[in-house]
Amino acid sequence: MTISFYVATRSLITAERVARTVTERALEREAVLRGSVLLTCSGALVTEYYDRLLELPGRDGRTMRLPLQDSDQS
């Protein structure tokens, strides 16, 4: 059986840890999965997504706007 996750984090290592933790919990808590064993856990960095963010005009790759430093809104 293969279980897949989409995890958006600042690092691939963190994403792999999150996926492993969620999978281990599911194996412990779900009756249908009891007796199953986690053999491997790995992630893939989807670089195309981040490359496209950098290519957008007027964008620097950030997915959130910077706060207004000179206002009460920050």
Residue 7 lies in a domain: no
Q: What is the pLDDT of residue 60?
A: 59
Residue 25 lies in a domain: yes
List, for residues 43-53, the tens digit of each pLDDT value: 887 777 767 76
CA atoms within 13 A on the CB side of 31: 0
Residue 33 lies in a domain: yes
| Identity of the amino acid at 53 | L
Task: State the total domains in the chain.
Answer: 1
CB atoms within 10 A of CB 43: 18
Q: What is the pLDDT of residue 30?
A: 93
DSSP letter, residue 36 = -
List, for residues 8-65, the tens digit of each pLDDT value: 777 888 889 999 999 999 999 999 998 899 998 888 877 777 677 677 766 555 555 5
Q: What is the pLDDT of residue 13?
A: 87
**55/31 Cα distance (integer angstroms):** 46
Residue 26 lies in a domain: yes
**46/69 Cα distance (integer angstroms):** 32
* Domain of residue 37, residue span: 12-55
